[in-house]
Each structure stands twice: as structure tokens, then as C-alpha cells.
Amino acid sequence: MIKVGVLGLQGAVREHVLSVEACGAEAVVIKRKGQLDEVDGLILPGGESTTMRRLIDKYDFMDSLKEFAQSGKPMFGTCAGLILLANNIIGYDEPHIGVMDVHVERNSFGRQRESFEADLDIAGVAEDFAAVFIRAPHIVEAGENVEILAKHNGRIVAAREGRFLGCSFHPELTDDHRLTGYFVEMIKESKQLIV
Ligand code: GLN
């Protein structure tokens, strides 16, 4: 069975676990870096990217996360997780993991719209995906190898670059598991390539 890790340092962890299980895969909450070896793909959940970064450093996870990214195993960053994957964060000197060729802006939908729901057409996933945005970032600029999967009001809110998938919203907060399912399929494909 496909094993999907969910980085369990902070944020919406349990909801991702349930979503992965609903897709017929096994979910593993990753609390120690050694557990990364056990999983075929990794979800970086939403939460607060600055807090998550602090905990990544505290528990000495950064090198292992970068190694994981280089191993060929897929990674899916949702909301704060997308910020962790991006190679450029507007207004900051350094990225975090920095493996996906996108520039992101944090909290970019304005204070008055701290959270909202929007119906999205996500290429290859769903034409009617109810997406929950919470203090969401968006992708301001995407490199040429990045496939734009969804936009909201002209802003990029979901994208894929090879084995890296990122979205601005929280796909785990509804019972629509199609985007998680898409990620599980990415993992299955990558296993065929790696094995
Ligand atoms: N605003 C958060 C950040 O900048 C992300 C919010 C979220 O993950 N829901 O990290």
C-alpha cells in the first residue's frame, strides 16, 4: 500500500490523515525525521509557515526535508506548506525548503477576506472543487516548467512542477478528496519510475 507522510509538527495534520485514508492509502504522521524513510510521498500541511519553520529547525528536519525533495518522492504543500516549498517568498531574503520554482506572496487575499470558499476548476482534478482559503498565499510567478492547475480571480492557486504539487487552499477541510487522490496518483507514478 502507498504510504503518505504528513509532516506533523504543526497545523492541519489530522484532516490530511483522514483525506489520505479516504483515498485508499496509508497515512503516517511524521514527527521524527527518521520516519521520512518509511514514506513514498509527503504532505506539508497548512498552518503558519513561520512557526513550522521554527519547529523544522528545532527538530533538525531541514536537511532531511531537502534530501527527501531530491530523492524523487513527491511532495504536496498546502497553504503554509506551499510557502515551505516555494523557492521565493515575496519580501523575504531566503526560502524555506525552496524546491518548487514559484514565487509566493503570503496572506495575499487581504485582511477582510481572511477566509473564504471558492469553486475552482483544477486541471486534471475537478471542474467544481470547493476550496477553503484561510489567510492564503498565492503564486505570483511560476517558472516555465510549472504547470498551472487552477486560478482564482486571475491568481494562481494550484500548480505542479514534476513531483511537486502546491495549492493555496486547504483541500483536506472538506470531504472532497479529489486533489489528495491526484497526489496519491502522482506517488504511484513516481514509484514506478523509482523502482
Ligand atoms: N498565512 C499562513 C502563512 O503565511 C498560511 C495560512 C495557512 O496555511 N492557512 O504561513
Q: How far is the CA of 79 from the centre of ligand 1 (A)?
A: 6
| CA-based end-to-end distance of the chain | 15
CA of 85 to the centre of ligand 1 (A): 13
Distances in Å between the Cα of 125 and the Cα atoms of 148, 159, 176, 194 are: 12, 12, 11, 24
Instruction: Give the model's pLDDT for residue 98.
Output: 98
d(CA 142, CA 18) in angstroms, rounded, equals 30
Q: Is the distance from the beta carbon of residue 82 to the nearest atom of ligand 1 less than 6 Å?
A: no
Asked whether 19 lines ligand 1 (CB < 6 A), one says: no
Predicted local distance difference test score (pLDDT) of residue 111: 67
Using a 6 Å cutoff on CB, does residue 21 contact ligand 1?
no
Q: What is the pLDDT of residue 97?
A: 98
Measure 9 CA to ligand 1 centroid, in angstroms.
Answer: 14
Kind of pairing between the strands at 75-78 and 41-44 = parallel
Low-confidence ranges of the chain (pLDDT < 50): none
Of 40, 55, 46, 52, the C-alpha closest to 5 is: 40
Number of domains the chain contains: 1
Residue with the smallest CA separation from ligand 1 atom 5 is: 80
pLDDT, tens digit (0-9, with 9 covering 90-100), for 53-62: 999 999 999 9
Instruction: Check which CATH number belongs to the domain holding 176 and give it.
Output: 3.40.50.880
Instruction: Choose among 124, 143, 137, 121: nearest CA to 170.
Output: 137
- 74 HSE (CA, 13 A, CB side): 26
pLDDT at 67: 98
Does the beta carbon of 46 lie inside 6 Å of ligand 1? yes
pTM: 0.97
Q: Going by CA atoms, what residue is nearest to atom 1 of ligand 1?
A: 135
Q: Is 86 exposed, middle or buried (0-12, 13-18, 19+ CB in 10 A)?
A: buried
> Does ligand 1 have an atom closer than 6 angstroms to the CB of 106?
yes
46: CA distance to ligand 1 center in Å? 6
Domain span including residue 144: 3-194
